[in-house]
Structure 1
Amino acid sequence: MSKKLVLIDGNSIIYRAFFALPLLNNDKGVYTNAVYGFTTMLLRILEEEKPTHLLVAFDAGKTTFRHSTYKEYKGGRQKTPPELSEQFPVLKELLDAFSIKHYQLDQYEADDIIGTLSRQGDKEDWKVTVISGDKDLLQLASEHVTVNVTKKGISDMEKYTPDYMVEKMEITPDQIIDLKALMGDSSDNIPGVPGVGLKTATKLLKQYKTLDEVYNHLDEVSGKKLKENLTNHKADAFMSKELATIERDSPIEISVDDISYDGYEQSKVSAVFKDLGFQSLLSRVTDEDAEEPAAIENMKDLSFTIAEEISENMFTGDEALVVEMIGENYHQAVIDGFGIVNEKGAYFIPADIALYSDVFKKWAEDENKTKSVFDAKKTMVALLRNDIHIKGITFDMFLASYLLNPAENNHDIPAISKRMGKNDVLFDEEVYGKGAKIRVPEQAKLADHIARKTASLFALKDQMEGQLKENEQYELLKELEMPLALILGEMEHLGVQVDISRLEEMGVDLKERLDTLEKEVYDLAGESFNLNSPKQLGPILFEKLKLPVIKKTKTGYSTAADVLEQLQHEHEIIPKLLLYRQLGKLHSTYIEGLLKVVRQDTNKIHTRFNQALTQTGRLSSIEPNLQNIPIRLEEGRKIRQAFIPAEKDWIMFAADYSQIELRVLAHIANDEKLLAAFKNDQDIHTQTAMDVFHVERDEVTSNMRRQAKAVNFGIVYGISDYGLSQNLGITRKEAKRFIERYFESYPGVKTYMEEIVQEAKHKGFVTTLMNRRRYLPEITSRNFNVRSFAERTAMNTPIQGSAADIIKKAMIDLYWKLKDEKLQARILLQVHDELILEAPKEEIDKLKEIVPEMMENTVELNVPLKVDYAYGGSWFDAK
């Protein structure tokens, strides 16, 4: 058997994991986010790489042999956050449970340990994989050594071989050290040569191959300033090379033969996972060989029939139905088969038989034939694509699971079954594979899997309905979520018309704006560079232009949006960079992105609404996300010009709730002053400004109103004085006083905030006006940050969640009103608090009456709901 050696840079990966994931802690108050992230990556490595030899290397301390060469090596690094430091021992304990060896050596870095062991493996012709978040290790790549570097946190890896490096970076592994020598590395405080960045260093090495040869041909180097810097900083360059060189013969006391890996004991790992609270990872370390016989045995117990034809005798009028499609985007996926289970038995119906059967179509469209389904919206869309309009759905397992377990991110049938104590349904990836390996199995296995899923749906329906009734959520499912799912299904199937030529025109205009901005930035910087590269942008801003350094990262200067926003008054280059990024995102995400998802045969976009994603109950949309088009920017608003009616002489009609969350707050908090402001139709932001600043109405300035608006909406989200100070650009002391004055003015709101937190601590959850629950186990955490976040969530979830429920109910009421009035108008989109319809021009007057009436009267609050509307030839014009 060939040897496979995997070497993991422990410090680099745990750092990446810590900053990629929000702070988490288990029920003992132990921080776990970095360990959790590391573990998810580790499980993937074990599965994909299947190592025969494995080691995780760690740095031994801050001081290394390199400090004797350069005392400032790695100087300027921020101190490791204590929340991360605490997780190193936890990680090592977890590695022990996995039976994975870990090692560190005094005065040496993890890189040196990895470099030494990778050379040993390379000499033995073993296949070696190095895993790190640091590109310094690229110098180790060879014929047998691949260096995998994490990107986008830890969720993705880029695999570097010598050939790939030449193709992508135009340099070889050996030249990485010379590259660092020339350009330096701010994350390790390696000086390099001033003025030499990645582009210049690469160019020099392509021409002269090595650092020595660069200096042997110094007279040939073009550019007076470059030659001068290379000459004056020759000692720095060679010292930098020494610092950047990984020691591949370090005095380690282990060899590759000492780090063989034979796998782990499930019980040991499971025990640590349970202790750390990694419930979602438990299923990934179960002994599949031990469980499979039981699962197979259960499969054999399920008797089902593969239907070669469909007869009316198959149906009882009370069926469980599963429409099976592989792939997330069910607008494009092919139906692979149908599962039907009733009192008579279980059936698998191949798609080509069901979809061409008049008996099946008649049964599906019969409202009196009740059906329990998994994901009513998906079922609706799949069948509408085949000219079948399903009716009679009375239970949706997917939505029921979401309401019962809103914090769970997996609501498929196997996961639900396991949560409810049944282990007789295999996960889809066990049957179909995953990623590029997804395949539809042969019919017997496919039929078996679909029949078992449908049988689980049939068996668990009553139990899940019982739990919903116990939680007082049955009505929420039956009267809100399920009717909405069917409406959303119709909306998705219908789609929204797009003016392709208008989108393309906007793309050309945006590209011209971007090119102009790019030139303006180059002029201000005095040189051209890659605007999208933080590594190139950082030195321009903070070394060349001498702007104050706000934040450093491991790889250099931070040029994140929040950093640039703090610098926008320091230099005129900053606003241009911010605008360049905004317009760049518009171009790539919303012009090019929208053009990619337009159906060629209809020129329509069919977004998918996520109904079971957010814990507040809000809808979101994907592929494409039409709720996030950035409308604060004029160019972003203009993108809505491309969304037009599907019929000639029709218009777009948009209606949105005015300040719905503040109105819900007034109702829930029952604050007299807030109630009065809305009942008297006063401008709430002006009213708040009067109260906070102690001025009369005619003395309220636009800036006062702006600040009051930030306070109003900040209160809804449980904002802190720090958060408000950042929003308004004021001191924390001023922000604290603003919030205090707000609560003095609206004492009912303060009382509500205090009482809802206590209620959440007592019950473990909070509810919306329609009994949607959000569970908050972290509200009793000993960790201040974690507990504070849970408290803010307790305050804002009843407000946000109730607002989400109200607009959902309004959609249902409006949908049926349009039907009752026999209007052609139809709902196209829901975007936060806004509904977008398309309708014939002759129905405008009717819509102006009906839409506000249905939306404003969908629920009865202690304050009036207010709806604004507009209409025009495009979504943009309907504003």
Structure 2
Amino acid sequence: MTKKLVLIDGNSIAYRAFFALPLLNNDKGIHTNAIYGFTNILTKILEEENPTHLLVAFDAGKTTFRHNTYKEYKGGRQKTPPELSEQFPFIRELLDAYNISRYELENYEADDIIGTLAKKAEQDDFEVKIISGDKDLTQLATKNITVSITRKGITDVDDYTPDTIKEKYGLTPLQIIDMKGLMGDSSDNIPGVPGVGEKTAIKLLKQFGNVETLLQSIEEVSGKKLKEKLQENKDLAIMSKELATINCEAPVTISVDDLSYEGYDVKAVSKIYKELGFSSLLEKLGVEMEKSEEVKDIPFEIVREVSSDVLTSDAAFIVEMLEENYHLGKIIGFGIANEKGNFFIPAQVALESSDFKEWVQDERMRKVVYDGKKALVSLKWKGIDLKGIEFDVLISSYILNPSLSSDDLSLIASEHELKIVQSDEAIYGKGAKRHVPDEATLAEHIARKAYVVYRLQEKLDKELKENEQYDLFRDLELPLSKILAEMEVTGVRVDIDRLKRMGKELNEQLQLLEQKIHELAGESFNINSPKQLGVILFEKLKLPVIKKTKTGYSTSADVLEKLKDEHEMVELILHYRHLGKLQSTYIEGLLKVVHGDTGKVHTRFNQALTQTGRLSSTDPNLQNIPIRLEEGRKIREAFVPSEKDWVMFAADYSQIELRVLAHISGDENLIEAFRQDLDIHTKTAMDVFHVSEEDVTDHMRRQAKAVNFGIVYGISDYGLSQNLGITRKEAGEFIKRYFNSFKGVKEYMDEIIQEAKQKGYVTTLMQRRRYIPEITSRNFNVRSFAERTAMNTPIQGSAADIIKVAMIHMAEELKARHLKTRLLLQVHDELIFEAPKEEIETLKKLVPEVMEQALQLKVPLKVDYSYGPSWYEAK
């Protein structure tokens, strides 16, 4: 049996986990994000590596033997955040529960412990895997020692072997130490030789081999300035190399044999998971969270004959389905909880009971639900109109904490200390193993869900009022759920023949493109194979290599975009990919989801998913149909009215987010531009470039448009430079000039960031909150992203709220005026209707009027509309 030792850099992984995940607290107020992230990577290691021996090494303290050489070693590091420091004892406790050895050594770093044990294990014929977030450890790589460096958070890793180090740097692992000696390392405050960066260091090492040989041969170095730097900083280079060298002979008091790993004790691990509140990890262990004493045993009854005890007002009501797509699903049972008890009603019993149907459809029978839209739709397919929804636990929970955005009641219950219901996945399984369990298990699960919903109403209702979010729930989201349910059931008619013709046309275009690409390449190859495409582009055509992956050359979209001007084939490949995606995702994808009985697609609108409050859609996703190219736009031709002599009518807000920005920021320049109905991009170009309207060129307007929409998303100089193909310096100057012209916008951006830091969240005009704990992160990238989120959310969220208000008011107007027109879709800032031709004149006036009056801002809202025989012509 192969002996395998895994060595984990405990401090490094804990730091990575802490900064990769938002601050999390358990019910005792303990921060748990580092522990949670650490646990996830630990369980992944155990599953993937199957180690026979295992150790987690920690730093013992702030000072090490390296400080004797250089007092400023690691001197630039910020103090460990207290929110992380408090988690280290729990990480150590967790390792003990896992029966995993841990070790620290006074005066030495974790790297030295790992290096010493790795080399000893290699001598004893072990396969060794080192896991860290610190690339310094790559110097330890050999044929038998692989170093895995975490990236993009904590679960993705890059493996470093002598071959990959050679491929990446052109160096041996030991030369990594020399490279650090020359270029230094700012994270450890290793000085290196001033002015020598990575490229220069690698070049020198390829020529001279190591620091010592280089310093003996300075006269052979090309470049007067570089010679002088090396001559003046010889001692610094030697010292820096010494600091960067891992001590592989540290006085470690444990042997490799002491590190044997034989698995963990489920009881010990589940105990600490329970203490920390890791319910999802407990489920993976197959262990339930402990139930509170108050509700340890929940009595329930399986109803064989529906009675008045069950059908009361003010009851929690659960409609249970197995399938995620409830338009195609089958109801497997109902749950009801009220003051008289907790009940499970088998689907057949309920659906054959006239008393039950009457209760469901009685407006006076007030009901508390979980995901009322799903309940409304699933019952509507059975010909039953659910009425009397008074409260929705899913929607209220989403408003209170949009980051939770879970459709699993067990997680919401856990958040409110009602840890008494398992997840649906734990009961039904997942994927191909998903099934309906025996009746007793099913009955208890659904009755528990009903009980939890019944108990949660009061708690959530109180929190909504305390947060001043009750109006958002009562007047916006709850009525919207009923409108969305109606839209889902109505569906959108699809012209299948037209879709198939489009598919045929796309196939012909794809064949022609394939032929042209093969002609340019001078040979046939699989265009969809990144490996084969990489060989053609970078070896045969000799195009510049932009990026490499583990498997070869990167041919990702961003790489190809940068190569567009290098060869005409690249543009053809991008077009080929675009058409291929249209064919597979949208032509073939749409054909798969057309309902066999209705001839329509019945998309599901996700009301409780995005943190900004925007709606998204699934099965199919109608919000992501690409419309940048004509071929994508034409897919909308397949969406047609469901009635003869009807048309599609589309109305969308013009520049709604910029109008919201003008209102929120109070910037007089921006407000005046909208009040005068000026072209906002031309106006921005005039102000930024200091020119008159007639002197604004198309290029100026395009740049102004990019910065206008970029500002809404907190764009950086780098982001703008990428969008416009200009230098970062030019982009920075552009943004600076924009803020000089629109000072109110700059003040808003600064103020909203400060507000987010003070409160921990930002709000929309209608009091929708988004919590942003990362805004106080010590990690610059994490904090910067959080700041952009703080700037954007009130704008994008308010725009989302406005169109939701418009949907509610439109539904009310259509009903009040007895119009046949139906609201079918909401796509970003657009509403799509189908309507009889005779109602078009009414809609031309009514729809813009209702949408423009949805919310009173300091600037007018503006709506454009169009109509035609399909969605395409209506745009």
What is the match of residue 852 of structure 2? 856
1:284 aligns to 2:284 (yes or no)? no
For 1:619 and 1:380, locate their aligned partners in 2 and report how far apart those are by CA, in whole Å: 18
SS of equivalent residue, structure 1 residue 774: strand
For 1:399 and 1:287, locate their aligned partners in 2 and report how far apart those are by CA, in whole Å: 27
For 2:505 and 2:35, locate their aligned partners in 1 and report how far apart those are by CA, in whole Å: 47
What is the match of residue 799 of structure 1? 795
1:449 aligns to 2:445 (yes or no)? yes
Alignment of 1:318-717 (within 5 A): 318-717=314-713
Distance change >3 Å, CA 360–CA 189, structure 1 → 2: farther
State the Cα distance separating 1:286 from its structure 2 match. 7.8
CA RMSD of aligned residues (A): 4.2
What is the match of residue 759 of structure 2? 763
Contact 1:620 1:627 survives alignment (8 Å):
yes
Give 2:324's aligned amino acid: E
SS of equivalent residue, structure 1 residue 796: helix
Contact 2:428 2:434 survives alignment (8 Å):
yes
Deviations 1:744-771 (A, max 9, x none): 1111111111111111111111100000
Give 1:261's aligned amino acid: G
Deviations 1:622-641 (A, max 9, x none): 11111000000111001001
Give 2:661's aligned amino acid: L
What is the match of residue 261 of structure 1? 263
Deviations 1:372-406 (A, max 9, x none): 10001101111101111111111000001101111
Distance change >3 Å, CA 289–CA 661, structure 1 → 2: closer
For 1:605 and 1:657, locate their aligned partners in 2 and report how far apart those are by CA, in whole Å: 25
Contact 2:120 2:256 survives alignment (8 Å):
no
What is the match of residue 226 of structure 1? none
Taking only the aligned residue pairs, the percentage that are identical comes to: 57
State the Cα distance separating 1:692 from its structure 2 match. 0.8
State the Cα distance separating 1:551 from its structure 2 match. 1.9
For 1:643 and 1:858, locate their aligned partners in 2 and report how far apart those are by CA, in whole Å: 27
State the Cα distance separating 1:515 from its structure 2 match. 1.7
Deviations 1:399-458 (A, max 9, x none): 011011111142422211111112222222332233333222221221111111111111
SS of equivalent residue, structure 2 residue 333: strand
State the Cα distance separating 1:290 from its structure 2 match. 7.7
Distance change >3 Å, CA 519–CA 605, structure 1 → 2: same
SS of equivalent residue, structure 1 residue 838: strand
Deviations 1:15-45 (A, max 9, x none): 9x999x99447589xx999997785465468
For 2:375 and 2:2, locate their aligned partners in 1 and report how far apart those are by CA, in whole Å: 45
Deviations 1:710-753 (A, max 9, x none): 01001111111111111101111111111111111111111111
What is the match of residue 99 of structure 2? 99
Give 1:260's aligned amino acid: E
Contact 2:402 2:770 survives alignment (8 Å):
yes
SS of equivalent residue, structure 2 residue 649: strand
TM-score (norm 1): 0.75
State the Cα distance separating 1:460 from its structure 2 match. 1.6
SS of equivalent residue, structure 2 residue 669: helix
Distance change >3 Å, CA 8–CA 814, structure 1 → 2: farther
For 1:26 and 1:297, locate their aligned partners in 2 and report how far apart those are by CA, in whole Å: 29
For 2:101 and 2:400, locate their aligned partners in 1 and report how far apart those are by CA, in whole Å: 41
What is the match of residue 872 of structure 2? 876
Give 2:263's aligned amino acid: Y
What is the match of residue 136 of structure 2? none
Match of 2:729 among 727, 733, 741: 733
State the Cα distance separating 1:789 from its structure 2 match. 1.2
SS of equivalent residue, structure 1 residue 314: coil
What is the match of residue 827 of structure 1? 823
For 2:564 and 2:695, locate their aligned partners in 1 and report how far apart those are by CA, in whole Å: 30
What is the match of residue 846 of structure 1? 842
State the Cα distance separating 1:100 from its structure 2 match. 4.5
1:719 aligns to 2:715 (yes or no)? yes
What is the match of residue 181 of structure 2? none
What is the match of residue 161 of structure 1? none
For 1:660 and 1:589, locate their aligned partners in 2 and report how far apart those are by CA, in whole Å: 29
What is the match of residue 742 of structure 2? 746
SS of equivalent residue, structure 2 residue 585: helix
State the Cα distance separating 1:51 from its structure 2 match. 6.7
What is the match of residue 785 of structure 1? 781
Distance change >3 Å, CA 268–CA 818, structure 1 → 2: closer
For 1:871 and 1:6, locate their aligned partners in 2 and report how far apart those are by CA, in whole Å: 68
SS of equivalent residue, structure 1 residue 379: helix
What is the match of residue 813 of structure 1? 809
Deviations 1:601-620 (A, max 9, x none): 22211111111111100001
Distance change >3 Å, CA 744–CA 52, structure 1 → 2: closer
For 1:659 and 1:312, locate their aligned partners in 2 and report how far apart those are by CA, in whole Å: 54
Distance change >3 Å, CA 669–CA 415, structure 1 → 2: same
State the Cα distance separating 1:647 from its structure 2 match. 1.0
For 1:615 and 1:706, locate their aligned partners in 2 and report how far apart those are by CA, in whole Å: 30
For 1:676 and 1:796, locate their aligned partners in 2 and report how far apart those are by CA, in whole Å: 22
Q: Which runs of 5+ in 2 are unaligned?
A: 26-30, 58-76, 103-112, 129-142, 145-149, 158-162, 172-254
Give 2:434's aligned amino acid: I
State the Cα distance separating 1:326 from its structure 2 match. 1.8
Contact 1:757 1:791 survives alignment (8 Å):
yes
Deviations 1:785-805 (A, max 9, x none): 111111111111100000000
Distance change >3 Å, CA 112–CA 352, structure 1 → 2: farther
For 2:268 and 2:603, locate their aligned partners in 1 and report how far apart those are by CA, in whole Å: 42
For 1:326 and 1:107, locate their aligned partners in 2 and report how far apart those are by CA, in whole Å: 51
Q: Which runs of 5+ in 1 are unaligned?
A: 59-81, 119-138, 141-149, 158-180, 191-252
Distance change >3 Å, CA 454–CA 269, structure 1 → 2: closer
Give 2:333's aligned amino acid: G
Contact 2:313 2:365 survives alignment (8 Å):
yes
Distance change >3 Å, CA 423–CA 731, structure 1 → 2: same
Contact 1:617 1:804 survives alignment (8 Å):
yes
Q: Which moved more, 1:674-683 or 1:434-443?
A: 434-443
Distance change >3 Å, CA 371–CA 109, structure 1 → 2: farther
Give 1:391's aligned amino acid: K
State the Cα distance separating 1:57 from its structure 2 match. 12
Contact 1:269 1:285 survives alignment (8 Å):
no
For 1:862 and 1:457, locate their aligned partners in 2 and report how far apart those are by CA, in whole Å: 41
Contact 1:650 1:839 survives alignment (8 Å):
yes
Deviations 1:481-503 (A, max 9, x none): 01111111111111111111111
Distance change >3 Å, CA 340–CA 765, structure 1 → 2: same
State the Cα distance separating 1:545 from its structure 2 match. 1.5
Distance change >3 Å, CA 304–CA 737, structure 1 → 2: same
For 2:706 and 2:864, locate their aligned partners in 1 and report how far apart those are by CA, in whole Å: 21
SS of equivalent residue, structure 2 residue 718: helix
Contact 1:493 1:606 survives alignment (8 Å):
yes
For 1:400 and 1:635, locate their aligned partners in 2 and report how far apart those are by CA, in whole Å: 41
Give 2:344's aligned amino acid: F
Distance change >3 Å, CA 393–CA 430, structure 1 → 2: same
What is the match of residue 66 of structure 2? none
